[in-house]
């Protein structure tokens, strides 16, 4: 069965610093991979997705993610974090009609 692991429950970075959120998945074939962001009291918003092709995917709000098949990873990155990026981030893996989410990483941004 497919699964998603986000090893970091909580990450704190300073505003302007770079960010990398880790995501590892388990799936037999090439999965569809997603990153969502959830701000307090809000629903989830899609940041980016990967289906095939170029392994470096650009998303909204300056985020990007890189698919590494050999490491079964799909890490999310941003070169310079803004205070408004503070939120919960979820990695998800999908196949056919099934979508599995990781437990999330909470991002705190220090001024």
Partner 1 sequence: EAGVAQSPRYKIIEKRQSVAFWCNPISGHATLYWYQQILGQGPKLLIQFQNNGVVDDSQLPKDRFSAERLKGVDSTLKIQPAKLEDSAVYLCASSPAEGGARDTQYFGPGTRLTVL
By beta-carbon proximity to partner 1, the closer residue of 31 and 87 is 31
Q: What are phi and psi for residue 69, nearest 5 degrees?
A: -60, -40
Please tell me whether residue 53 binds partner 1 under the rule CB under 8 A.
Answer: no
Residue 74 Cα distances to 15, 20, 41, 54, 78, angstroms: 23, 10, 26, 13, 13
Residues 60-99 interacting with partner 1 (rule: CB under 8 A): 90, 92, 94-99
Closest distance of CB 92 from partner 1, Å: 7
Residue 41 Cα distances to 26, 37, 62, 87, 88, angstroms: 30, 12, 22, 10, 11
Q: How many CB atoms lie within 10 A of CB 18?
A: 11
Closest distance of CB 95 from partner 1, Å: 5
Residues 9-48 interacting with partner 1 (rule: CB under 8 A): 31-32, 36, 41-46
By beta-carbon proximity to partner 1, the closer residue of 7 and 79 is 7
- Give contact residues for partner 1 (rule: CB under 8 A): 4, 31-32, 36, 41-46, 49, 51, 90, 92, 94-104
């Amino acid at each position: 069965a497919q699964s998603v692991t986000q090893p970091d429950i909580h990450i704190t970075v300073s505003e302007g610093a770079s960010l990398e959120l880790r995501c590892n998945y388990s799936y037999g074939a090439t999965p569809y991979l997603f990153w969502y962001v959830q701000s307090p009291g809000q629903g989830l918003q899609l940041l980016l997705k990967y289906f095939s092709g170029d392994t470096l995917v650009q998303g909204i709000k300056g985020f990007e993610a890189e698919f590494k098949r050999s490491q079964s990873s799909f890490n999310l990155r941003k070169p310079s974090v803004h205070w408004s990026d503070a939120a919960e981030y979820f990695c998800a893996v999908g196949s056919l009609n099934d979508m599995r989410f990781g437990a999330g990483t909470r991002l705190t941004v220090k001024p």
